[in-house]
Structure 1
Amino acid sequence: MLAHLCVVFLYLASGVSSDLSPPGCGINDVGFDYTTLPKVNKRRIVGGEIATPHSFPWMAALENRGVLHCGGSLLRGSSDRWFVLTAAHCVHGTSASDWKVRLGVHDISQTESSSESIDVRTALIHPQYDSSTFEYDIALIELSSAPQLSRPEINIGCVSGDISKVGEVCYVVGWGLTSSGGDTSDVLQIIEKPVLSQAQCRDIFGSNTFYESSMICAGFLEGGKDSCTRDSGGPLMCYRNNRMEIIGIVSWGNGCGEPNSPGVYASASAGKQWIEAYINE
């Protein structure tokens, strides 16, 4: 409890200086060109396209008792501490000992030579998280050991402090359901989604459901493409400054790919100060 209060104090005091977008983050070492990703492709599918293997090397598969439950993004903290950024609802009410984090993986059905599985030391949920409204749906998982960053298949992600830009086409990756009520994907999938305005999101969901202070939404109003169950915690990313930058965390939605129901994401900019405080304490 004392450590938790110290982190909250640091967060509220706003005196932390660190860099969640260090040199070398948000890029890949397998030669994939992010500018070749589709800008708009409105095919009526939920699962998207198969991602080029290891083109998003910060992507983590979070397994609870051996079963995929969520996604996340690898971050580096101070003093050689390592973290995965994910959604609070993924870890809320669970035990750290039940989790393992798989890094460097493309096909979760296989034991790939590029991948490694790391135990979880602890998890901390954003102090303003509300499990009934999903406000500040942000959590950090601390890894029990350092990942092998020398591998080209593993790298750290960049967390953006910038406000999302309306109309910007961004991307979500995950191993979640490829259709509502369907099966998960063995291989990493990617979809593109335009960011909607806060006013649009509020009009769609209502001000008592969509909380602008900690949420953003993205997707096609006609439906068709969306993140889905077990994609939770994964990153919503935009290509900026010659790298991928995380602007959101997969949080919730009404169904998967339903018309007039874009996906809702925890805002990375809203949580950035708290994330900095915790990983650098």
Structure 2
Amino acid sequence: MLPFYISRFGNPHSRTHEYGWYCEEAVEKARENVANQIGADHKEIIFTSGATESNNLAVKGVAKFYHPKKKHIITTQIGHKCVLDSCRVLENNGFDVAYLPVQKNGILDLEVLEQSIKPETSLVSVIAVNNEIGVLQPIEEIGRLCRSRGVSFHTDAAQAFGKVPIDVNAMNIDLMSISGHKICGPQGIGALYVSRRPRVRLEAQQNGGGQERGLRSGTLPTALVVGLGEASRLASEEMKVSFQKEYYLLLVI
């Protein structure tokens, strides 16, 4: 990160000079590192200021794009505050939001979820790993259910990214929020995975120069992006070692 604070001051979106080229290359390398961690294509990674912005963009973006044809959203009662508050804002603007309870073990009941999906449901948003009690939701099963019903599936993976294996394609995840500082990266940087196949449609919540596929305008902070990319790479390596250790411990026990 240091070179981009000390001598590499280029705008990664400026392609008319060497400083911009260098920064753009660094940003795209970081994008690849994040994408590789979750089995995504680098073009599906949108950089944001953190998981809060990613969650707002995912929830409000999908909801507003499909409104008024579809104005029903499903989430859980144990989601992160930024997701719950985003849903409440949408409710105040005429959307119908279902806040599903969880079972005593903290896990969402898939039958309840299936019964809650309506023809006008545009999005299901479920936190992958709860930030307070640490429960891991059955993301793959939820994703499979949503895909079968033609509903976009978003998961807040701030507490899961870099700690548990995630394959967005195998798990049928359409949108996924990521935080940099949750994996020892810098604060003030995050990302949103937005599937291209199947294509997820959402409305930008921040307008301007059209950066990040037109979904999140604004000049990217190169140093922070590079930090997130490197943290993602290191987290991936450490996760593999950690799982190997746990596997051998289970054999011994």
TM-score normalised by structure 2 residue count: 0.25
Name the TM-score, length of structure 1 as normaliser: 0.23
Larger radius of gyration: 2
More strand by percentage: 1
